[in-house]
């Protein structure tokens, strides 16, 4: 059996962060008992706000339609309803851990193969799967009730209902300027526009009309795909019914694909009572990813991280020598970058669980970079190269022999983190000082998302700063 865990790959472009109020730093270890406590808190909130799920009146015929189209049962355990999250899936009967709660055959999933053959041949590899699936959505939507997918397409979120950061205006984006997701949003919107123009040119070169679809339509379709599609052996796939499930970062239930059975399925990771909302994990996503790709945040996200970028100062007399050394020797580990689209001098900082441990969460490659930047003579750089040659070949991975230099290197990192903390604190304070009842619902939601993001990144930075302070003290 070839089972592929797909929701770990559920990542389009348009998707997450944390709210932990500004408090003194406390080391926090996500132990099994803490995870249980967080889940209890999460579930108690869900049971309070969702104790009486509302049946979604316009969706009562959706599952029967899908099962007829699939010519097989999809789920006897779930029904569509409404919650504070919007359209959701609830347990229609008692569900036990290990039960298969949903099984969607590949034949009723939408992939790039659903593009009309003539359009598929025209586009070729000009754009990626997200753009191709977006075109499928636009074409099927234009067909209205004449589309075989109308019951599904018509129930997707409409324009104006999404909060992905690509839809934020300039003043709203200013709320998240300190975070890397600010630039990611600009870059992503630019990529969507590039894909749109590419598709439009292809259509026009073959005298076909793409005029019925605006850039706004295309961006909306792209974010629908980015926030709802799962990765598979065939590329991205929209999985009707499964994409009504909401996200719980602590859940162990994920979407899996079975190429032998030609279906995607979900196995319950815990017991559910009838009427209880069923949740899965889209992936181990930070709030930055959730904001960008999914358009929501969660109050406390254990997967939060902060991306920081370091450059050799232009005025450094050893600029060229250091730059050459760093480019040749210090490349962040893939786990420290997560996305190869980031430049090689970008590092992902995760929460440092203990301010007196080994600093796990603070990339070793970043500390090595700081040691290189602290060098003031070419001889010091040559010594680092010689030391690396005599050991495991990795540059500046060991503490500098000159204790004062080692402290200086880590104080440099600390000063950068303190500046990043101050930037986030300033915006958080401005957000907290405005509680106007006149705020429109859209802005109110996005302010909360910004707070979740910044509080989460603040927690990460404070944990790293506390460790750096203790490390420097320990050396004295």
**pLDDT one-digit tens code per residue, 277-321:** 999 999 999 999 999 999 999 999 999 999 999 889 999 999 999
Average pLDDT over residues 181-189: 97
pLDDT at 332: 60
pLDDT at 202: 82
What are the DSSP calls for 79-99, one per residue? EEEEETTEEEEEESS-B-TT-
pLDDT at 43: 43
pLDDT at 232: 78
pLDDT at 371: 96
Using pLDDT thresholds of 50, 70 and 90, give the confidence band for residue 126: confident
Spell 22-37 as b/e; 16+ CB within 10 A means b: eeebeebeeeeeeeee
Domain with residues 110-286, CATH architecture: Alpha-Beta Complex (3.90)
- How many helices and strands (H and E) does the chain possess? 15, 13
Percentage, residues of the chain above pLDDT 70 = 82
Using pLDDT thresholds of 50, 70 and 90, give the confidence band for residue 327: confident
List the one residue out of 368, 400, 361, 17 whose CA is nearest residue 175.
17
pLDDT at 54: 58
List the domain boundaries for the chain. 110-286, 305-475
pLDDT surpasses 70 at 7: no
Using pLDDT thresholds of 50, 70 and 90, give the confidence band for residue 212: confident
Q: Which residues contact 100 (CB under 8 A, 6 or more apart)?
A: 265, 266, 267, 268
Handedness of CA 63, 66, 72, 75 (dihedral sign): negative
pLDDT at 58: 65
pLDDT at 34: 41
pLDDT at 331: 62
pLDDT at 118: 83
Give me the phi and psi of 252, to 5 degrees please: -100, -5
Of the segments 113-117, 193-197, 208-212, which one has the largest average pLDDT value?
Answer: 193-197
pLDDT at 440: 82
pLDDT at 117: 87
**pLDDT one-digit tens code per residue, 14-68:** 333 222 222 222 233 334 444 444 444 444 434 333 345 555 556 789 999 999 9
Using pLDDT thresholds of 50, 70 and 90, give the confidence band for residue 11: very low
CATH of domain 305-475: 3.90.1420
Q: Which residues contact 262 (CB under 8 A, 6 or more apart)?
A: 105, 106, 107
Q: Which residues contact 19 (CB under 8 A, 6 or more apart)?
A: 297, 299, 300, 448, 451, 452, 455, 456
Give me the residue label for tokens 């409409």: 158
Give me the residue label for tokens 């009707």: 240
pLDDT at 164: 97
Mean pLDDT of the residues in the chain: 85
pTM given for the model: 0.85
**pLDDT one-digit tens code per residue, 135-162:** 999 999 999 999 999 999 999 999 989 9
Q: Which of 141-150, 156-165, 426-435, 444-453 has the lowest mean pLDDT?
A: 426-435
Q: Which two tokens stand for residue 220?
A: 């909306």
pLDDT at 384: 95
pLDDT at 345: 83
pLDDT at 36: 44
Count of CB atoms situated within 10 Å of the CB of 216: 11
Average pLDDT over residues 73-90: 92
* Contact present, 94 and 273 (Cβ < 8 Å): yes
Spell 374-403 as b/e; 16+ CB within 10 A means b: bbeeeebbeebeebbeeeeeebbbebbeee
Handedness of CA 416, 417, 418, 423 (dihedral sign): positive
Q: What is the 3-state secondary structure (H, E, C) of 419-461?
A: HHHHHHHHHHHHHHCCCCCCCCHHHHHHHHHHHHHHHHHHHHH
């Amino acid at each position: 059996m070839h089972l592929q865990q797909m929701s770990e790959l559920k990542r389009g472009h348009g998707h997450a962060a944390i709210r932990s109020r500004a408090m003194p730093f406390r080391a926090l270890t996500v132990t099994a008992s803490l995870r249980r406590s967080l889940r209890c808190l999460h579930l108690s909130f869900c049971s309070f706000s969702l104790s009486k799920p509302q049946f979604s009146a316009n969706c009562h015929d959706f599952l029967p339609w899908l099962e007829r189209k699939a010519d097989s049962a999809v789920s006897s355990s779930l029904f569509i309803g409404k919650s504070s999250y919007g359209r959701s899936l609830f347990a229609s009967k008692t569900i036990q851990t290990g039960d298969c709660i949903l099984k969607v055959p590949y034949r009723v999933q939408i992939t790039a193969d659903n593009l009309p053959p003539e359009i598929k041949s025209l586009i070729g590899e000009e754009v990626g799967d997200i753009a191709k699936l977006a075109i499928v959505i636009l074409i099927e939507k234009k067909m209205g009730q004449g589309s075989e997918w109308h019951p599904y397409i018509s129930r997707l979120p409409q324009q104006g209902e999404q909060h992905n950061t690509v839809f934020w205006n300039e003043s709203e984006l200013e709320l998240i300027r300190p975070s890397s997701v600010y630039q990611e949003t600009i870059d992503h919107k630019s990529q969507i526009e590039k894909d749109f123009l590419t598709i439009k040119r292809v259509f026009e070169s073959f005298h076909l009309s793409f005029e019925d679809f605006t850039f706004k339509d295309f961006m909306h379709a792209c974010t629908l795909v980015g926030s709802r599609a799962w990765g598979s052996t065939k590329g991205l796939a929209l999985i009707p019914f499964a994409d009504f499930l909401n996200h719980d970062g602590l859940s162990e239930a994920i979407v899996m694909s079975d190429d032998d059975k030609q279906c995607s399925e979900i196995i319950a990771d815990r017991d559910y009572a009838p009427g209880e909302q069923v949740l899965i994990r889209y992936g181990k996503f930070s709030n930055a990813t959730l904001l960008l790709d999914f358009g929501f945040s969660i109050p406390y996200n254990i997967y939060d991280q902060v991306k920081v970028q370091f450059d050799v100062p232009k005025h450094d007399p050893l600029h060229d020598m250091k730059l050459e050394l760093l480019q040749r020797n210090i490349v962040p580990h893939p786990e420290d970058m997560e996305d190869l689209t980031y430049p090689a001098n970008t590092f992902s900082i995760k929460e440092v669980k203990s301010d007196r441990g080994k600093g796990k969460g603070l990339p070793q490659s970043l500390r090595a970079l700081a040691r290189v930047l602290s060098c003031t003579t070419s001889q010091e750089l040559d010594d680092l190269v010689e030391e690396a040659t005599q050991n495991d070949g990795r540059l500046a991975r060991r503490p500098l022999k000159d204790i004062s230099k080692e402290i200086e290197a880590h104080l440099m990192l600390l000063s950068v983190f303190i500046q990043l903390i101050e930037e986030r604190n300033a915006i958080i304070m401005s957000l907290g000082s405005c509680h106007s009842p006149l705020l429109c619902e859209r802005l109110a939601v996005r302010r909360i998302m910004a707070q979740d993001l910044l509080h989460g990144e603040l927690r990460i930075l404070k944990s790293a700063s506390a460790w750096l302070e203790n490390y420097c003290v320990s050396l004295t």
